[in-house]
Amino acid sequence: MTIKTSLTKTSLTKTSLALAGTAALLATTAAANAQSITINSFGGSYEEAHRECIIDPFEQETGATVQIVTAYSADAFAQLRAQKDAPQFDVIHFSGGQEIVGAQEGLLSPIDESQLSNAADLYDFAKTNLEAGEGPAYSIAALGLVYNSETAPKAPTKWADLLDEAYEDHIVVTDISNGYGMLSFLMLNRVMGGDLDNIQPGLDAVTQLLDNGAVVVNTSPEIQQEFAQNDAWIASYASDYAFTLRKAGLPAVFVQGEEGTPASFITANLVAGRDNQELALKFIDMSISKSAQECFANALRYTPTNSTVELSEEVAADVIYGPEAVAGLLRFDPITIEEKRSEWVDQWNRTIAR
């Protein structure tokens, strides 16, 4: 009996040690996971600025690591939906309004404004539905008119100037498969008397643009090619891309159309169903900070949403800056856009098929 008892104690001791080791390993793994978050970014120069302005400072301040998945908004949202029961992202970034749908579908977690130390400095429109799960807007791409200041016969001042025959054969139109192209088209449609229930006025305007020699492109690099090689004078696009063209040596200038300035809100959203939301919230908080937004404006010419941001005259001239300027920004309903996208694309393709 003594021998049996001795063996039992030995077995129990070994079992206890094994369990303790396993527990320690699990605790270590959990701690490691808690010090790492996964986000998406948009690639290219955007991702470079994202790292410089937010990711690197976040890692230095917290000691955590940030895993980056390069994915644009639509692809990232598709991944989020597919991974609903086991999401990989902790923070997900959108520029097409997907946060509204994601919040409604329960894919995003509500945010208490008190959890973000920088939220009080945001313009109200940048934090309207935090409690519903829509993350704050930390940058804005403003849409207007980009023109060649050296070759264009005159500077445009309004969206309707796209139809001015003075620019005939030197016009660039972006396909609505491109997010900026969609917003530009919807603004032109609005100027021509249409709305989200009637895009025919916009399609008629596109027909007129094509009659005036407009070229349809799909991507931003194609716009650069048209300006650099094919003597393009004017395009409807975003303020940040005018800066990109200038960096490439082209005399591009961005102007807001007098009729209004549509905006693409770039948001940072807290993904539901993840364990390390506290760390993820710190990342979102840094994204809306004064320093991060000043960095983004300097690097890419995005409009800041933090009211305390201070920009040089040179940078401020390239962005929509200050409370009065941002008050005029327009946002077309992202849910309606998604609901009608297929129908609109079909109508668009029939219009440009010539």
Integer Cα distance of 287 and 192 in angstroms: 37
Nearest to 243, CA basis, from 328, 331, 314: 314
> What is the per-residue pLDDT for 195?
98
Helix/strand/coil for 271: strand
- Tokens at residue 117, please? 């130390």
pLDDT of residue 327: 86
Please provide the DSSP assignment of 22-51 as one string: HHHHHHHHHHHHHTEEEEEE--HHHHHHHI
Quick check: 296 and 304 in contact, CB under 8 A?
yes
Given this model, what pLDDT does residue 24 score? Answer: 40
Q: What is the pLDDT of residue 13?
A: 45
Q: Which domains does the chain have, with CATH numbers?
A: 32-140+263-330 (3.40.190.10), 143-262+334-352 (3.40.190.10)
- In a 10 Å sphere around its CB, with 0-12 CB exposed, 13-18 middle and 19+ buried, how is residue 331 labelled? middle
Sequence-ordered list of residues with C-beta below 8 angstroms from that of 293, at least 6 positions apart, any chain:
138, 139, 304, 305, 306, 309
pLDDT in tens, the chain (354 residues): 333 333 344 444 444 444 444 444 344 344 444 599 999 999 988 999 999 999 999 999 999 999 999 998 989 999 999 999 999 999 999 998 999 999 999 999 999 999 999 999 999 999 999 999 999 999 999 999 999 999 999 999 999 999 999 999 999 999 998 889 999 999 999 999 999 999 999 999 999 999 999 999 999 899 999 999 999 999 999 999 999 999 999 999 999 999 999 999 999 999 999 999 999 999 999 999 999 999 999 999 999 999 999 999 999 988 999 998 998 899 999 899 989 999 999 999 999 997
pLDDT for position 251: 97
Pairing of strands 91-94, 261-270: antiparallel
**DSSP3 helix / strand / coil % (the chain, rounded to 5):** 50, 20, 30
User: Residue 102: what residue type?
Assistant: G
Q: How many helices (H) and strands (E) does the chain have?
A: 14, 10
Give me the pLDDT at residue 34, please: 52
The rounded distance, in Å, linking the Cα atoms of 174 and 144 is 13
